[in-house]
Amino acid sequence: MTLPALGPGEALPPDVAPSPHQVADALLVEVLGAPDPLVAAEERASELTSLLLRDQWMTLLDGIGPTLPAWIAWRAAYGLHHLGHLRDAAAVADRAETGGDPADLARLAATRASIAWNRGDRDGAQTFVTTAGALDIAAGGAAQGVVDVARALLAAAEGDRDGNLRYYERARSWAERSDDDLTLERVLNNLSSRALESGDPEAAVEFAVAGQQVNLRTGHQSGLALLRHNLAEALMTLGRLDEALAEAHQARTFYALAGSPNAGSTWQLVAEIQSTLGLATQAAASFRHAIGAAELEGDAQTLVPALAGLALVTAPSDPAGATELVARVEREPIAVRGAGALTAASWVHLCTG
């Protein structure tokens, strides 16, 4: 059972919500109970990617051995990365065998690029993207869309908005031609985020809803949670704050039940909505939750806006503490800093005279 796709503001009934761990445990038991678990895992690879959580991935992989075939290494690294377990995802990728299908190796390198991007490591991301591109050429373009997603992330980090969109559109076309719904869902998720960054919340809603329709085919639980997160952010931008808060709480609930560090990013979004509603004390508490989760995984993409947000809401009451928060932001990689960080710094300077 997977989380159903719901419309804006529509809540999931408590008695219908499945436990992510129960779903993942049931699948793991079936795979490990097969005569040859590795063969069973390969036959059900798509389900593993969509449903397994950190604990189940680790149990499955530890039963395979210290080194992993590339086909399962990239799926595990992708799944763990999507759930926000950046350290585990990187460790799993390091266990991959160097030989195998170049398409699987290209997907693995692209995932490693995404992990580096999350950490604000632009040079590392570039190295992995270059490797992924060369492997994809050897594979005859069999992983092109996956590699293009990594290229799009790198282009965004470099401030190349046109290149970012070009790679996403190319990845979307490739995913549709290749019937790669997992990649298509990810592209639509990222296009929703990009539309928000571009000041187009209506388009962000459209991409998020389209992604939910693809999610009906993938059953990717953390993918749906991220789609709901993006939908919440778009609704917030449109001023539909109550709906936005409901969507954000739905995403946060899944991540919390799944034990996912991505709960940090949804805490950050909840905090932003609370701040907009004038709930400064609640927003400060939510920002602190986000910071704690981001610090555990070294997730600079979440840490920087959470620090900036906390500085904004606490500057009037604790200007000294807000000043230190801004100083922390300025020590983070410049690739993950943006207008939000500058706004926070400006506001703190104003509050401190």
Q: What is the pLDDT of residues 26-54, one digit of tens each?
A: 999 999 999 999 999 999 999 999 999 99
The pLDDT of residue 11 is: 40
| Residues of the domain holding 328 | 261-353
In this structure, is residue 301 part of a structural domain? Answer: yes
Query: Residue 7 — pLDDT band, cuts 50, 70, 90?
Result: very low
Same domain for 183 and 216?
yes
Is the pLDDT at 17 greater than 80? The verdict is: no
Same domain for 281 and 255?
no
The pLDDT of residue 342 is: 79
In this structure, is residue 168 part of a structural domain? Answer: no
Q: pTM of the prediction? A: 0.83
How is residue 44 annotated by DSSP?
T
Is the pLDDT at 337 greater than 80? The verdict is: no
Same domain for 297 and 217?
no
Query: Residue 353 — pLDDT band, cuts 50, 70, 90?
Result: confident
In this structure, is residue 234 part of a structural domain? Answer: yes
Average pLDDT score over residue span 124-148:
97
Is the pLDDT at 18 greater than 70? The verdict is: no
In this structure, of 2-16, 136-150, 190-204, the range with the lowest mean pLDDT score is 2-16
Query: Residue 262 — pLDDT band, cuts 50, 70, 90?
Result: confident
Is the pLDDT at 336 greater than 60? The verdict is: no
* Tokens linked to 280: 């400064």
* Tokens linked to 50: 């969509």
Handedness of CA 277, 279, 284, 285 (dihedral sign): negative
List Cβ neighbours of 313 (8 Å cut-off, separation of 6 or more): 271, 275, 280, 283, 284, 287
Same domain for 245 and 268?
no
d(CA 352, CA 322): 9
Same domain for 274 and 346?
yes
d(CA 133, CA 20): 34
d(CA 313, CA 273): 12
In this structure, is residue 211 part of a structural domain? Answer: yes
d(CA 31, CA 35): 9
AA identity, residue 159? G
In this structure, is residue 140 part of a structural domain? Answer: no
Is the pLDDT at 338 greater than 90? The verdict is: no
Is the pLDDT at 80 greater than 70? The verdict is: yes
Nearest CA-CA partner of 272 in 223, 299, 234, 225: 234
Nearest CA-CA partner of 95 in 63, 124, 118: 63
Same domain for 277 and 347?
yes
What proportion of the chain, given as a percentage, has pLDDT over 90? 74
How is residue 318 annotated by DSSP?
-
The pLDDT of residue 8 is: 36
Query: Residue 14 — pLDDT band, cuts 50, 70, 90?
Result: very low
In this structure, is residue 327 part of a structural domain? Answer: yes
In this structure, is residue 319 part of a structural domain? Answer: yes
In this structure, is residue 332 part of a structural domain? Answer: yes
DSSP secondary structure string, 242-306? HHHHHHHHHHHHHHHHHT-TTHHHHHHHHHHHHHHTT-HHHHHHHHHHHHHHHHHHT-HHHHHHH
Q: Which residues pair with 96 in a beta bridge?
A: 68
Average pLDDT score over residue span 112-124:
91
The pLDDT of residue 306 is: 92
Same domain for 279 and 353?
yes
Is 243 within 8 Å of 268 (Cβ atoms)? no
Tell me which of 212, 235, 260 is where a domain ends: 260
In this structure, of 277-281, 305-309, 325-329, 334-338, the range with the lowest mean pLDDT score is 334-338
Q: Which residue has the higher pLDDT, 118 or 233?
A: 233
* Tokens linked to 327: 């100083």
Is the pLDDT at 2 greater than 60? The verdict is: no
Q: What's the residue count for the chain?
A: 353
Helix locations, the chain, DSSP H? 20-32, 37-43, 45-51, 54-64, 70-83, 86-94, 102-118, 122-138, 144-157, 161-178, 181-197, 201-218, 221-237, 241-258, 263-276, 280-297, 300-314, 319-331, 339-351
Average pLDDT score over residue span 213-229:
95
Is 283 within 8 Å of 271 (Cβ atoms)? yes
Is the pLDDT at 6 greater than 50? The verdict is: no
Give me the number of domains the chain comprises: 2
The pLDDT of residue 12 is: 40
d(CA 60, CA 321): 45
* Tokens linked to 17: 């919500």
Same domain for 245 and 328?
no
Same domain for 240 and 297?
no
Tell me which of 228, 260, 292 is where a domain ends: 260
Query: Residue 331 — pLDDT band, cuts 50, 70, 90?
Result: confident
Nearest CA-CA partner of 235 in 280, 282, 209, 201: 201
Tokens 């590392």 belong to residue = 124
Average pLDDT score over residue span 309-338:
82
Query: Residue 9 — pLDDT band, cuts 50, 70, 90?
Result: very low
Average pLDDT score over residue span 78-94:
95
d(CA 31, CA 37): 5
Is 271 within 8 Å of 244 (Cβ atoms)? no
CATH code of 314's domain: 1.25.40
Tell me which of 260, 278, 311 is where a domain ends: 260
Average pLDDT score over residue span 292-319:
87
